[in-house]
Structure 1
Amino acid sequence: MPLRLLPLALAVLIAIPLSGSPQSSAAEQTSDIPAWLAAHVGTGEGQIAPVVLQRARALYQRKTRQGAVRNPCYLSMDATRPSMSDGQVGRRFYIICEEDRVFRAISSGYGNGRKLQRADFSNGRQCAKNFSNAEGSKLTTGGAYVTAESRTSFKGYYRSSGQRTPFHRTFLLFDGEGDTANARERAIGGHQARFLKWQCRFRNPGSPYADEEGFVPYGEMVNYTSGRSNGCTTWSPEDSDFILALTHDNPTTLYIYPESGDIDAVAAAVKDRRSPSDTGLYWNAACLKSIGIPQFWPKETLQPIINEWRASLPQGPFKPLPICR
């Protein structure tokens, strides 16, 4: 979406009705939240949990005071929510523009993790149980981020409208702090939830993407909107276009809940047979019931396990894709 169209897009978003009944008692806990935004605070579908909004606003206000961001909008994500709710795509990523009174809740993927011999830190399709900031973990890390530059890369060809069409995907980089400080090392960012599952290669020497022998990869397009990812934040193609336009040359903040301390505190409460909500802690109730006890794997613990697994993988010659028939 061109930047010149953003004001129109924001105006359209204002008119979009959002489901979920307001929970005024939760909203009243933070008096400085404007009334229009407080109406979207709660734990229902399409709403944002109080602690998630409070931390997202605090991060945005801090970075604004520091001069790090000037974007009128900020982003947030609640990774404790399910990917599906009542048969509909679960909305757990938020775009908030307070000046224009815009609140939009959309779907987003979360890290699927890995299942290794020494440690199983994989996540199911509905709810995230495991989190980590270890490189190669393929897991989500909660905390503070600022959007950075974007990079567009060619992924291969796929069939669209009866023709072989090149697929380009833009990746929005994140810069983090604290547990998220290694976001660039981990190649963590945001992009649309589509990838090409390579099947073969065909000769197309006229393509600017051809290799030295004149071949280009071809595959099947896979859309995993609201599903699991390799640890990155993923959106539908339409939402991705909007966010990329919103942040182009205009960085903003992204706050992802839960952080490692939240995970440890909720885990301790569950182990002690205490309700997290009764102790002032937050986790989506449906997902907590599904996963049991959440776990944060610090990189100091998980990185040696991942490195050992990588070292055990067989080293063989690269096998090129078969020729398309």
Structure 2
Amino acid sequence: MRLISVPLGVATSLLIAFIVLMASVRSFAALQPSGIPAWLQAHVGDSDGMISQVVLERARTLYLKKVAQGAVSNPCYFAMDATRPGDLGNGVLGRRYYVICEASQSFRAIASGHGAGRNLKGSIDFSNGRRCSKNFGNAMDSELTAGGAYLTREAKTSFKGFYRTGAKQDAAFLRTFIQFDGEGEAANARQRVIGGHAAQVLRATCMRKNPNSSYANHDGLVPFGKLVDYAGGRSNGCTSWSQADARQIIAMVKDDPTTLYIYPESRDIAAVAQAARNHSLSAPYWNPSCLKEIGAPKFWPRKTLEPMIAQYRKDHPAPPPQPLPMCKES
């Protein structure tokens, strides 16, 4: 093997160039917060279709932690920013749910519902509007979104009834629900039946005779109603997506769990609310358009809200359920 002799001046220049190059690489790496790769950092921002920095950092930290623990091996993970508007007006939905697959360098931002909360008239109002969330919480029967760390779990498909698709053409409505298991303040997610599903519901209005259907009850009856899509609205605290997005997401996590991080947590809500009271400019992140609309957010802990809900239920007992009437044949 022949050695090539390099003049001292040239060698010195090459060494300096190498040092400058390495310094540039280190400087570029330092610009990537928490080791976030450059392609993913390009999707960071506060405008629609982008993910805010703190949301991505927490979602990525959760995912990497669960991968290291062997809890998940799915190449993708999820995040949601519940401070963003769900409805941008003129039929345009805000994209605030994120599907991130780093191995394939894939990033998607899609629409998702938020917890509607409830207005217990004459008692207490912790409801949310269609556009922005003001109230958050983890109480049973509150229908509120609780931020924090989640894992997707088992999928369960349920028959809800039949609906009309065309002239005397009916279809069975089957909806798949992905159960979430939460941590910390979201640890009661399973107890609350919190998960993800398509933003569709069947408003059953009557019962039909259909004894040959595998879905018929012991009297040979099946529920029949109207299929309602509420992708642009609110939910009962679950994460809801359009039918097309739900189909893709459910296929991704069925028998292959992954992580979901929902922002904000109660600590973020408390800090933003305090900053709003003090007119401080150093508040944690919150979507500015929604913050202007709601004034200040509020977190309702279960120890505070559950007794209120229980008392309201005691004072306003629900009427006994009535059976659906028989359908008028058409």
Q: Rate the CA distance shift 1:125–1:317 in 2: closer, same or farther, 3 A.
A: closer
Give CA deviations for 1:35-70 in whole Å, capped at 9, x if unaligned: 110110010110000000000000001000100000
Deviation at 1:86, TM superposition (A): 5.4
C-alpha distance in 2 between matches for 1:182 and 1:81: 24
C-alpha distance in 2 between matches for 1:313 and 1:86: 36
Deviation at 1:312, TM superposition (A): 2.7
Conservation of the 8 A alpha-carbon contact between 1:171 and 1:190 = yes
Range that drifts further, 190-199 or 305-314: 305-314
Conservation of the 8 A alpha-carbon contact between 2:32 and 2:41 = no
Q: Does 1:111 align with 2:138?
A: no
Conservation of the 8 A alpha-carbon contact between 2:87 and 2:130 = no
C-alpha distance in 1 between matches for 2:142 and 2:320: 25
Amino acid at match of 1:57: R
C-alpha distance in 1 between matches for 2:280 and 2:32: 23
Give CA deviations for 1:159-202 in whole Å, capped at 9, x if unaligned: 11331111000000000110000000000000000001111111
Q: Does 1:182 align with 2:185?
A: no
Deviation at 1:259, TM superposition (A): 0.3
Q: Does 1:95 align with 2:99?
A: yes
> What residue number does 1:32 align with?
35
> What residue number does 1:67 align with?
70
- State which of 239, 259, 262 in structure 2 corresponds to 1:233: 239
Range that drifts further, 160-169 or 38-47: 160-169
Gaps of at least 5 residues in structure 2 are: 1-29
- State which of 192, 196, 202 in structure 1 corresponds to 2:208: 202
Deviation at 1:31, TM superposition (A): 5.3
> What residue number does 1:272 align with?
278
C-alpha distance in 1 between matches for 2:138 and 2:244: 28
What SS is found at the alignment partner of 1:243? helix
Range that drifts further, 296-305 or 156-165: 156-165
Q: Does 1:80 align with 2:83?
A: yes
C-alpha distance in 2 between matches for 1:66 and 1:202: 51
What SS is found at the alignment partner of 1:63? helix
Tell me the TM-score normalised to structure 2 length.
Answer: 0.87
Deviation at 1:323, TM superposition (A): 1.1
The alignment-based identity, stated in percent, is 56
Aligned pairs, number:
296
Give CA deviations for 1:130-170 in whole Å, capped at 9, x if unaligned: 00100100000000000000100000110113311110000
- State which of 300, 304, 308 in structure 2 corresponds to 1:305: 308
Q: Which protein shows a greater Rg? A: 2
Amino acid at match of 2:131: Q
> What residue number does 1:321 align with?
324
What SS is found at the alignment partner of 1:82? coil
- State which of 130, 136, 143 in structure 1 corresponds to 2:148: 143
- State which of 117, 121, 128 in structure 2 corresponds to 1:123: 128
Q: Does 1:220 align with 2:226?
A: yes
Q: Rate the CA distance shift 1:137–1:285 in 2: closer, same or farther, 3 A.
A: same
Amino acid at match of 1:153: S
What SS is found at the alignment partner of 2:33? coil
C-alpha distance in 2 between matches for 1:143 and 1:311: 31
C-alpha distance in 1 between matches for 2:317 and 2:268: 38
Gaps of at least 5 residues in structure 1 are: 1-26
Q: Rate the CA distance shift 1:105–1:316 in 2: closer, same or farther, 3 A.
A: closer
Q: Rate the CA distance shift 1:48–1:305 in 2: closer, same or farther, 3 A.
A: same
Q: Rate the CA distance shift 1:202–1:86 in 2: closer, same or farther, 3 A.
A: closer
What SS is found at the alignment partner of 1:135? coil
C-alpha distance in 2 between matches for 1:307 and 1:53: 37
